[in-house]
Structure 1
Amino acid sequence: MRSPFRPFAPLFAAFALALAPVACVGGEPQDGPAAAPNDELGGDVPPLFDGKTLDGWTGEKDLWSVQMIDDVPTIVGVSEGLDHNTFLTTDRTFGDFDLTFEMKLTPNDANSGIQFRSVRIAEEEGEKPGPDSEMRGYQADAGAGWWGKLYEENGRGMLYPAEGKPDQTSAEDALKPGEWNVYRISAEGDRVRTWINGAPSVDLVDPEGRKEGMIGLQMHSGGPMTVRFRRFVLQTP
């Protein structure tokens, strides 16, 4: 079957280099560079982030906020130190999708990541999850030594690079520590791919993985950190 996704390099280059002041996601304007449209994807997807509020997201309200940084609306997570992992999650769920965004983590030796096709564990167990509930599912990892890797949170652990497979490497060498970095995630059926600043990272076919779930922004337990996310461009089939 022919893939519904076009080659990724042109779209990545367009996102990283375009200087247009508005990017459209599902017909809604957002500040930031414009990603080239993929005509074979749906296009009528409401934006993940309205650029003003955290409506449509659930998390610990004292840890997450919306700020204007360089005149760009940004989701910001700030922790003075946590004894648990915490997540800001979409109220919607997604199966196959293509998501590009910018991310900045300080300090770089902190730990963060982006959950996708994930679920709050409490909900999976039939309980009502709170905003501090843990998650299970794929995580595109972030943090020194972790950037570009694929981890299954509260599941199978490290999926890519896999132990004993030296041909599998992450794209951490493409990272600009402490600066804005373009992260891209593609989930299509059994296949998961990621890129950092246009450099290919994960490319995994994983029949065992969850095929649908929420997107979540993570702050890991540990010391003080600040993580920022902006310029989301989401497309679905």
Structure 2
Amino acid sequence: MKYLIFAFLFSTGFFYAQGSKSLFNGKDLSGWTKHGTEYWYVDSGELVCESGPEKKYGYLSTNKPYKNFILDLDFKLEANGNSGIFIRSHVGGKDGTTIRGWQVEVAPPDLHTGGIYESTEGGRGWIIKPDPKDEKNLNPDGWNHMRIEAKGDKIVTWLNGKQMVELTDDKIGEGRGSIALQIHSGGGIKVRWKNINIQELK
């Protein structure tokens, strides 16, 4: 029943910030840059990331950097859904897929969706994970809604309307860069995305 309620709220736009703009046009990857050999494509108006033959990490980053914002998007895990949403990130390095930034986790059940992981040189790894009871808020078989609010040194994440974590961190506060979607290494991964909207904050 709760997932039916969430579906209704999605359709009415309840979860989306007022004054937001779309980052994905539902037709192509305009406004984004692909990093790596994994697959990123549009299918039925949805953005899809899928493991390629090399089974490596892959990223799709916004061409524009974002510092302070509210990001809303929907995702659906297909196959192994190990993925993530990086904020204030930079992708490059010799292989073109080395990332620096902070990841809001998107993953299969009980693998800390909504938690924050640091991927930087000398990074701290997991900074904060959701309470185990809140991890049950993930719908493993259908669409989920993620909201990320980043303002200064404070980051808050919500999954399907439930706050997952709240973090104040000086290092994150100093960061600046793109929003990037991730596909994890290892192969067998497929995730769908849609309704990617952002409201920039002062």
TM-score normalised by structure 2 residue count: 0.83
RMSD: 2.5
Amino acid in structure 2 at the alignment position of 1:147: T
Question: Of Structure 1 and Structure 2, which has the larger fraction of its residues in strand?
Answer: 2
Q: CA deviation at 1:50?
A: 1.7
Tell me the matched-pair count: 190
Partner of 2:41: 65
Aligned to 1:97: 69
Distance of 2:14 and 2:169 partners within structure 1: 31
Q: Residue 170 of structure 2 corresponds to which residue in structure 1?
A: 207
Q: 1:57 offset after TM fit, Å?
A: 0.7
1:76 aligns to 2:40 (yes or no): no
Is 2:87 the counterpart of 1:112? no
Larger helix proportion of the pair: 2
Q: Which structure has the larger Rg over C-alpha atoms?
A: 1
- In structure 2, distance between residues paired with 1:152 and 1:226: 23
CA deviation digits over 1:177-204, x for unaligned, max 9?
1311001101011000101111111100
Tell me, yes or no, if structure 1 residue 187 matches structure 2 residue 158.
no
* Partner in structure 2 of residue 149 of structure 1: 115
Cross-structure match for 1:198: 161
Which one of 217, 220, 223 corresponds to residue 181 of structure 2? 217
Question: Do the aligned residues in 1 keep the contact of 2:28 with 2:42 (CA within 8 Å)?
Answer: yes
Assess, with a 3 A threshold, how the Cα gap between structure 1 residues 207 and 104 changes in structure 2: closer, same or farther. same
Contact 1:175/1:197 (CA < 8 Å) preserved in 2? yes
Q: Report the identity percentage.
A: 34
| Matched-pair contact (CA < 8 Å) for 2:73–2:194 | yes
Larger RCO (alpha carbons 8 Å, 6+ apart): 2
Contact 1:63–1:77 (8 Å) recurs in 2: yes
Structure 2: segments with no counterpart, 5+ residues = none
Partner of 1:56: 31
1:120 and 1:197 map into 2 onto residues whose CA distance is 28
Task: Give the deviation of 1:111 after TM superposition.
Answer: 1.3
SS in structure 2 of the partner of residue 173 of structure 1: helix
Aligned partner letter, 1:208: K
Q: In 1, Cα distance between the equivalents of 2:153 and 2:115?
A: 17
Shift in Å, 1:107: 2.5
* Partner Cα distance (2:60, 2:143) in 1: 20
Distance in 2 between residues matched to 1:193 and 1:102, nearest whole Å: 17
Cα pair 1:84 1:221 within 8 Å, conserved? yes
Q: What is the Cα deviation at residue 175 of structure 1? A: 0.5
Contact 1:150–1:160 (CA under 8 A) maintained in structure 2: yes
Task: Give the direction of change, closer, same or farther, for the CA distance of 1:169–1:106 in structure 2 (3 Å limit).
Answer: same
Deviation at 1:47, TM superposition (A): 2.7
CA contact (8 A) 1:65 1:77 kept: yes
Q: Cα distance 1:78–1:37, how it changes in 2: closer, same or farther (>3 A)?
A: closer
Structure 2 Cα separation of the partners of residues 14 and 173 of structure 1:
14
Question: Aligned partners of 1:98, 1:34: CA distance in 2, in Å?
Answer: 14
1:149-202 deviations in Å (ceiling 9; x for gaps): 1101242210103xxxxxx62632100113110011010110001011111111
Match of 1:135 in 2: 99
